[in-house]
Copies of this chain bind each other. A is one copy, B any other.
C-alpha cells in the first residue's frame, strides 16, 4: 500500500492571508494529510449556540484546493470558557479533591452527562457540515493525557455507583467479591460507596481496581457517542490519537469503535520521562529516543487498529498522528534530536506498517503553552529541520515499492487491565506493568526479532511459533487454551495470579494446563538485592518460589526453580535482567528454529513483508550485516 505523510495545522492561529501559501508549501514537499480543528471550539462556537463556520469552510476549501486531504478533529478536548457557566460541575477532581480547572485543556470529567450532550451536539454539527468533504476524522485529542482518565468528581461518583449496581446487582454480591468483611468495609447500599481516594490507608484493591475498570469504560463510552454520530453523516474513517505510554484506559476497547488507531510519538520526551532505564541509557539516547519505545507502540497500535475490522492484528490500520519534529517543551530537559532522526522515526513507522506519518506541527506557534515546541517551520516561517526531513522521506517513499507488512513468528500479549492491577498493587516499588512488558519486548528486539503485539482477547495464536504473556493478572480461559496450543509460550512471572474479583485464586497460580507448579510465595527485591540465576544473570524486583513437579529448566543460585516447563508451555519465576532474558529467549527461539542473534548497541531491525529495514539509534556509526549506518542512519535490504 501507499505510505503517506502529513502535518497538523491550526488555521485559526494564523492570518487567513497565510493559508494558501502554507497549503502550497505542504503540497510542494509531498505532504498528503492535514489534521485541523481539534482545539478550535471557541472559534467554531464563540458563544453558546452562535456558530461561526465560515472561516473553517474557507480553510478546508483552501487545503483541498491544494490537493491536501483533511483530517478533521472534534474539538471536545478544549471546551470554551462559557461551557463552565452552563455546566459548573463538569470539571474533573484530582485524588485530593481539588478541581482541575479551566485555563489549559482536557478540563472535563468523562462521566458528566451534560458535557457529553454538548459534545454530541458539536460533533453532530461538524459531521453534518463536513461529513462529505473530509478524508478522515479524529475524535477529541489524546484521551488520558495529563492524567485525565480518572476523575473523583460527583459525576464520576454517581456513575461509578450505577456501574457497580449493574455489575454486581446487590451490595451483598459486591461485598463478597471485594472481600469487604475484611476491616468491616461492608456496604448496605450502592449509594454508600465512595470513590477509593482519601482513605486513611490504601483502599481495598478490589475497590480501586473496579474504579479503574469503570474509568476506562467511561472513556470508551464517551468516544462511542462521537463515533456513532459521525457514522450517521460520513463514510470517512474515524481515528483517535493515543498518547504514548498512557495505559489508564483500554485502547483495545476504544479501538473497537475506530477504523484507524493513531498515536503521538515524542521519542525524546518519552525516554526522559516515561521509561524505567539507567542514567547511562538515558544519556546515550537523549537525542535519539529509546531504540524500542517507538517500535513497541507501532506494534501495539497496529493491534489496536485491527479491533474494529476484525482482521488479524498484523494487519491493523494505524498512523502516527503527531511525530516529534525537533525539541519539544514538556520534558524535564528538551534536547535537539540528532540530525536525521525525524527521517529515521518516519521510516521506522512505515516499516512497522504505518499508513501515514504526520509531523506535529506545521509552524511553531510563538504564543501560549507550546511556544517552545518545534514545528516543521520556525515561528518566522523559515524551514526547520523536520521540513527538510519530510521532503526527503516523501521523495524516498515515491521511489520505494510498497512496504507491505507480514506476520512475524513471535507475539507478545498486552493487557491494559494488568497495568491497572499492578498499579493498584505493585507489592514492590517500581513494579510497573508497562515497563515489565516493555522489558520483554526490548529483549526480543535486541535479538533482531520482529514482534506482533496482541490483545488478551485473542483466541487463535496459530500464526505464531512463540508467544510471550508475562504478568497478566487474570488469563482468560480462551487465552490459556491458545497459549497451551502454541509451539512455545513463555508465561510469568505474576501471571494468572488474580481472580477477576482481584483475589488470589485457589488453586494457587499459575494454574496452567499440564504444568505442575504453584507459586508458594512471592517476594519483591530492592535494587541492590537481586537473586542470581545459576546460568548467569539475575531476577530483579520480583521473584517467586515455585513448588511442584514441573520440569526445571533453570534454577536460581539459592536453589529454587527459575524456569519450568511442560512441553512448549514455560513459566518464568521472576523478572529477568538483560543477561538472563537474552539467554532464555535465545533458547526458546532456537527450539523453534527462529533465528536470533544479538545486534550491536543501538541498531534495530524490522522485517516487513518485502524487505528488512535497519535503524541506527546509536550516536556512532555501526556496521552490521553488510550495512554501515551513520548515527540516525536507515538502511533496507
Contact surface of A with B, Cβ cutoff 8 Å: 10, 12-13, 39-43, 46-47, 75, 78-82, 92, 96-107, 145-146, 148, 178-188, 192, 194, 196-207, 272, 279, 282-283, 286, 326-327, 329, 332-336, 364-372, 374, 378-380, 382, 384, 425, 427-429, 501-508, 518, 520-526, 528-529, 545
Interface centre among A103, A187, A518 (most CB of B within 10 A): A103
Question: Which residue of the partner chain, among B79, B199, B204, B205, contacts A107 with CB atoms under 8 Å?
Answer: B199
* Nearest 9 CB-CB pairings of A with B: A179-B367, A182-B368, A42-B184, A366-B504, A103-B199, A78-B184, A179-B368, A336-B523, A146-B201
Do the beta carbons of B508 and A378 come within 8 Å of each other? yes
- Excluding A202-B369, A335-B524, A366-B503, 5 further A-B contacts by CB distance (< 8 Å) are A39-B184, A81-B186, A100-B199, A101-B199, A384-B520
23 pairs from A and B in contact (CB 8 Å cutoff): A39-B182, A47-B188, A78-B183, A80-B184, A96-B98, A101-B197, A102-B199, A103-B200, A104-B201, A107-B199, A178-B368, A179-B365, A182-B370, A185-B368, A205-B369, A206-B367, A279-B528, A332-B429, A335-B524, A335-B526, A336-B545, A367-B502, A384-B521
A interface majority secondary structure: loop
| Nearest neighbor of A182 in chain B, beta-carbon distance | B368
| Nearest neighbor of A198 in chain B, beta-carbon distance | B101
Do the beta carbons of A80 and B186 come within 8 Å of each other? yes
Do the beta carbons of A368 and B184 come within 8 Å of each other? no
Do the beta carbons of B105 and A201 come within 8 Å of each other? yes
- Chain B residues with Cβ under 8 A from A194's Cβ? 101-103
The answer for the CA separation of A428 and B272 in the assembled complex, in Å, is 12
Question: Which residue of the partner chain, among B42, B379, B505, contacts A185 with CB atoms under 8 Å?
Answer: B42
Do the beta carbons of A378 and B521 come within 8 Å of each other? yes
The answer for the CA separation of A378 and B329 in the assembled complex, in Å, is 51
**Given that A194-B102, A196-B103 are known contacts, is A526 also in contact with B368, CB under 8 Å in the complex?**
no
The answer for the CA separation of A102 and B193 in the assembled complex, in Å, is 9
Shortest distance from the beta carbon of A120 to any chain B beta carbon, whole Å:
18
| Nearest neighbor of A280 in chain B, beta-carbon distance | B528
The answer for the CA separation of A518 and B381 in the assembled complex, in Å, is 13
**Given that A205-B369, A428-B333 are known contacts, is A183 also in contact with B105, CB under 8 Å in the complex?**
yes
- Chain B residues with Cβ under 8 A from A501's Cβ? 367
- Chain B residues with Cβ under 8 A from A523's Cβ? 327, 334-336
The answer for the CA separation of A279 and B527 in the assembled complex, in Å, is 11
Question: Which residue of the partner chain, among B41, B42, B380, B525, contacts A506 with CB atoms under 8 Å?
Answer: B380
| Nearest neighbor of A370 in chain B, beta-carbon distance | B182
Do the beta carbons of B503 and A367 come within 8 Å of each other? yes
- Chain B residues with Cβ under 8 A from A382's Cβ? 520
- Chain B residues with Cβ under 8 A from A204's Cβ? 103-104, 368-369
Do the beta carbons of B200 and A508 come within 8 Å of each other? no
- Chain B residues with Cβ under 8 A from A372's Cβ? 425, 427, 522
- Chain B residues with Cβ under 8 A from A148's Cβ? 200
- Chain B residues with Cβ under 8 A from A286's Cβ? 526, 529
Do the beta carbons of A81 and B335 come within 8 Å of each other? no
- Chain B residues with Cβ under 8 A from A279's Cβ? 528
